[in-house]
Every structure is written in C-alpha cells, then in structure tokens.
Amino acid sequence: MTKFMNDPTMPTPSFPGSHMVMDDRYVFISGLTVSDLSNGHAAKGDVKEETRLVMRAILRMLEMEGGSLADVLRVDVHLTDLKTINDMDSVYAEFFEPGRYPARTCTESPNICGGCHVEITVMATRQLPKEQ
C-alpha cells in the first residue's frame, strides 16, 4: 500500500507534493533544500552547511520509517554552481560508509527553489517490520 506523508517537523510543502512517499519496497524523499527546513534559513549560501542540514533531515525522515542512510540506493543532487561540488562532497561523504555510496547524479541547476544552493532527492529501500 502506498503511503503519502509530510514530515511533521518541517513546514507543509508549498508545492502540490509530499515530503515522502512509501510503498512496500521503497521510500522516496522529495528534493529538500534548507528553505524547506524550519531552521535552515541561516545556512543559505554555505554549500557545506546546506548539505549538512539537508542530509540530517533526510536521515531523520528515514529513521522515522525505521530506516537509515545505509538503505539509500540513489541520490540526486542539484547545485547552483558545479564548482562547489568538492565542498558538497566533503560533507556528503560523511553520511555514508566509505565504499558504500549510493548511485548518484549531480547537476547544475542555477535556480533552486528558495534561493538555496543545494537540493537533494533520495530513493531508499524500505525496512518493513519483521512479521512474528
């Protein structure tokens, strides 16, 4: 069964969509920016801090569903300037076990919503409770 959910710790999306959609196998997390987070506005413009806050939000959302970043299969990263990819990578890599990085696409998107510099979208396997 498909479940559509918004993270109760974040503002309701200003777009016609959900923060997360889950089915029996996967968790899909919509593209997140620091402007989607209640506490993220001060981080705008610092690619490292934007990445850190967004990755922490993604981790929290996965944990709400019993998962972790180890369950992430695919990540899409949008940067306003690809020249900042090394800064983003230096923080991004901290969230995964070395050698076990998800498949990833990173593109330059000069106009990310909310004036942010980083947007991250995730697809992860879903950890369902074990039947007894």
Closest CA to 73 of 101, 33, 107: 101
Contacting residues for 126 by C-beta, under 8 A, at least 6 apart: 22, 23, 24, 25, 26, 27, 65, 67, 71
Whole-number mean pLDDT of the chain?
A: 90
pLDDT greater than 80 at residue 48: yes
Report, as an integer, the average pLDDT of 45-53: 92
Question: Residues 121, 30: contact at Cβ < 8 Å?
Answer: yes
pLDDT greater than 60 at residue 131: no
Rounded CA gap, 4 and 47, in Å?
29
Which pLDDT does position 30 carry in this prediction?
94
14-18, 60-64, 91-95: the lowest-pLDDT one:
14-18
Which pLDDT does position 114 carry in this prediction?
84
Look up the pTM and report it: 0.91
Domains and CATH numbers, the chain: 18-123 (3.30.1330.40)
